[in-house]
Structure 1
Amino acid sequence: MMAFFWHHELLLWFVAVGLAAAEMKLDCGLEFVTLVWSDSGSQADASLFRLGSCFPTTFTPREVVFNVELDNCNFRRLVSGNELNYTNDLFYMSSPGSYVLPFTLPVVCSYQRPKDWYPILYEPVSSTYGVEDLLFHIELMNADFSGPAETSTFPLGSMIPIMASVEEVAHQPLLLLLEECVAATTSDLETAVETYTIITNKGCLVDSKITRSKFEQRQKASELQLSLQAFRFELGQEVYIHCTMFAWDPNGLDGTKKACHYVKGHGWELLDNPVYSSICDCCDSSCKTRRARSPGAGNGLFQKAVIGPLVITDLA
C-alpha cells in the first residue's frame, strides 16, 4: 500500500467492571494491522470482541487476536498535516445478563503523508428528497465517510462508500433503513433492461454473501453507511443505484424493518443489535410484509432515491 510509515507498538491498560488488568497491543504495518487483547482474568467472552466491523482472527479464553488489512474492518482514513492516520475502534459487545459491561477503545495507526499526495476533486454525486416533514439524502462518500467522494469511477473489487440519511425536522428520532437497492444503466428504473440486486427482502444486503459489501457501524440512527464492493455489471458504462429509503421507529425492528448483512463464517447479522440476528433468518427465504406499526403520527415513511452516474472499470 505504502512504503512510508511510522511503526509503533501501543500498550494500553484498561480496568472495568468484571475485567482485571487487560492489555491491548497494537502493531501497525504497511498494509496489515495486528491487535492483541490479553486478559489474564478471563472475565470477558473473547468471541464478543470486534475491531470495527471485523470478527477476531483467532481467540482463546484469555486472548483475542486481529490480523487485518487497513482496507478492511471500517478503518477510517484522515490526512492531517504530514500525517496519514487510520483510525478504528475495538469494542466489546457484552451479552444479555453479563456483568462485564460493553466498552470501546480507540485504535490509531499513524503514517507519514506522501509528499505528492493531493485529493482529487470532482462534483459530488448526491441526491436530496423531501417528503412530509422529513428530508432524505443519499450520496457517494470518500473512503472514511468523512466527506463527499473524490471520484465517481471505481475499479472492479474496490469499495464504493454510500451514505443515506434522514433529517428529522420536528419529528421524533427515527432509524434510517435501506429496504431495497438495485443497480441499472438508466436513471429511470422502469426502462432498465438489466439490473443487479444489492439489497432486497426488506433490508437484506444479499450482495454481501458473494462480496465484501457490508453495512458499517452506525454513527447516528438517522444515518446508514454502506460499503459496497464494486461489482461486475456493465463495466465502463454509467451505472445508477436505485434505492428505497425508509424512516422507522428505532425500537420497532422486525423481519420487515431491518438492516442485515452476511458475515463470512458466521451467517446473517443484524446491524443494530447482533444479539437479535435471528430477525435476519428470513434473508435466505422470504421476509413477509406485515401491517406496519406507527412510529409516531402515521406509518414509517418511504422515499425512492437514485444515485449516479458512477462507473465501474475492469482491472485488466
Structure 2
Amino acid sequence: MALCLGSLMVFSSFALFWVRGEVSVDCGKSSVSVRWSEPQSLTDPWLLRLGDCPPSSVSLRPGGAEAVFHARFDDCSFRRLVTENEVVFENELSSEASSQSPSDFSCPIVCAYERPAEWNPPMYDPVTFHANGRGDLVFHMSFMNDDFSDVATSTTFFLGSLIPIAAVVEQQAHQPLVLLLEECVASASPDLSQDSDVYSIIANKGCLVDSKKANSRFLPRRSPSEIRLYLRAFKFSFSEEVYIHCKLVAWDPKDMDSGRKACQYDKQNERWELLDNPSESAICACCDTVCRARNRRRTRRAVAQSVVLGPLTIKD
C-alpha cells in the first residue's frame, strides 16, 4: 500500500490509497489492469482516462463508483523506457475537472520488468560510452511504426510515404543532455567510403536539408534525450537496398549554437527554423552556407556515435 505521490516501480501488482479514491494495478506480461474505486462518488468515473483510453467498464452504486481499465502496453499512449536492468512501462491515470468533480488529478501507473539478458532494440545494437561527469551513455536508433509507439516490424516503405525514425540516448548521471543528429546520409552500402554514392538527409551540423528538398520534418520533442523525424520516402537511383548513416551527438542543452542544433526548413515562411526554440532560429541561418560552432573548445563536451540503419526498401 502506498500514497499516490510520484512514480512507483512494480513487478506484479500494487494498490494505492489517495484523496481521490483507491487504485489497484495488476501488471501482466504485455498488458495491465487498473481498478479505481471511490466510496463517496466525488469523481465522475466516465471522465477517467488511462493515458488517452476511457474505462473498459464503469459501475455506479449508492455511495460509490468503480472504473476498470484493461490495456495493452502498445495502446493508451504507454511510454516504454529500457534501462540497464529493467523494461519499464509508464502512464497516468487522470481525470478532467467537471461540475461534479471541480479539480482534476493524475496518478502514475508504472509496471517494471527485469530486462532479458539478450534484449536489444531491433535494427541496432546499443553502444555504451563512459563520459566524464555524465556516467554511461547508451545510444539507440530505429525505424519506427507510424505513431512511434514501437519499433517497425517492416523496413519496406512506399514511394512518397513517411518513414518514421527515432533516436534516443540513455544516461545514468543527473546532468541532462540533448540528443542531436549532426549528419545523416543515405547510401547503398552499410559501409561508407570516399567513393560511395550518397543522398544527403541532414548536413551542415544539424540542418535537415531534406525538409527543403522534400517534406521530411522533425517532430516536437517528447524529451531532450530523444529526437524523432519523418523522412519522405523517395526512389534511390543507385540501389534497391538503402542504408541510413547518421552521426548522433549528446550535448549540453544550454549551449546550443550554429554548430550544435536541429534545424528544418519552414516552406510557408521560407526560412530555417530551430526545432527546440523557434525564437532563436537565427542560429539556423547558416544552413544554406557553412555552419560552424562559435567556440571550437566546446566540442569536447559532446559525445558522438555513428549509427547505421537498414537496409530499407522503397516500392512504387
Normalising by the smaller structure, the TM-score range is 0.5 to 0.7
Does residue 182 (structure 1) correspond to residue 185 (structure 2)? The answer is yes
Whole-Å separation in 2 of the counterparts to 1:291 and 1:262: 25
Q: How far did residue 150 of structure 1 move?
A: 2.9
Q: Name the counterpart of 1:280.
A: 284
Contact map agreement 2:207 2:264 (CA 8 A) in 1? yes
SS in 1 for 2:264: strand
Q: How far did residue 182 of structure 1 move?
A: 0.3
Which aligned pairs between 1:16-95 and structure 2 lie closer than 5 A?
none
Whole-Å separation in 2 of the counterparts to 1:291 and 1:301: 16
Query: Which deviations, in whole Å up to 9, do the C-alpha atoms of 1:50-70 show, x marking residues without a partner?
Result: xxxxxxxxxxxxxxxxxxxxx
Does residue 218 (structure 1) correspond to residue 216 (structure 2)? The answer is no
Which of 158, 162, 166 does residue 159 from structure 1 map onto? 162
Q: Name the counterpart of 1:130.
A: 128
Counterpart residue type for residue 253 of structure 1: M
Which of 285, 288, 295 does residue 291 from structure 1 map onto? 295
Residues 192 and 147 of structure 1, relative CA distance in 2, 3 Å threshold: farther
Whole-Å separation in 2 of the counterparts to 1:182 and 1:291: 26
Contact map agreement 2:258 2:294 (CA 8 A) in 1? no
Corresponding pairs, count: 196
Q: Name the counterpart of 2:275.
A: 271
Whole-Å separation in 2 of the counterparts to 1:138 and 1:189: 18
Does residue 305 (structure 1) correspond to residue 307 (structure 2)? The answer is yes
Counterpart residue type for residue 202 of structure 1: K
Query: Which deviations, in whole Å up to 9, do the C-alpha atoms of 1:225-248 show, x marking residues without a partner?
Result: 011111221477111100000000
Query: Which deviations, in whole Å up to 9, do the C-alpha atoms of 1:127-163 show, x marking residues without a partner?
Result: 4222222111100001111111131001111111110
Contact map agreement 1:182 1:243 (CA 8 A) in 2? yes
Which of 201, 205, 208 does residue 204 from structure 2 map onto? 201
Query: Which deviations, in whole Å up to 9, do the C-alpha atoms of 1:244-279 show, x marking residues without a partner?
Result: 000001111110110000111212110000111111
SS in 2 for 1:288: coil
Whole-Å separation in 2 of the counterparts to 1:279 and 1:306: 28
| Further displaced range: 187-196 or 139-148 | 187-196
Query: Which deviations, in whole Å up to 9, do the C-alpha atoms of 1:71-111 show, x marking residues without a partner?
Result: xxxxxxxxx89xx999xxxxxxxxxxxxxxxxxxxxxxxxx
Residues 172 and 85 of structure 1, relative CA distance in 2, 3 Å threshold: closer
Residues 282 and 203 of structure 1, relative CA distance in 2, 3 Å threshold: same
**What percent of counterpart residues are identical?**
50
Counterpart residue type for residue 304 of structure 2: F
Residues 141 and 169 of structure 1, relative CA distance in 2, 3 Å threshold: same
Which aligned pairs between 1:2-13 and structure 2 lie closer than 5 A?
none
Q: How far did residue 125 of structure 1 move?
A: 2.5
Contact map agreement 2:257 2:293 (CA 8 A) in 1? no
Whole-Å separation in 2 of the counterparts to 1:273 and 1:258: 10
Larger Rg: 2
Q: How far did residue 291 of structure 1 move?
A: 3.3
SS in 1 for 2:228: strand
Counterpart residue type for residue 275 of structure 1: S
If the length of structure 2 is used for normalisation, what is the TM-score?
0.57
Q: In angstroms, what is the RMSD of aligned CA positions?
A: 2.5
SS in 2 for 1:208: helix
Counterpart residue type for residue 173 of structure 1: P
Q: Name the counterpart of 2:150.
A: 147
Whole-Å separation in 1 of the counterparts to 2:306 and 2:145: 23
SS in 2 for 1:162: strand
Does residue 257 (structure 1) correspond to residue 260 (structure 2)? The answer is yes
SS in 2 for 1:250: coil
Residues 215 and 293 of structure 1, relative CA distance in 2, 3 Å threshold: farther
Whole-Å separation in 2 of the counterparts to 1:291 and 1:223: 25
Q: How far did residue 290 of structure 1 move?
A: 4.2
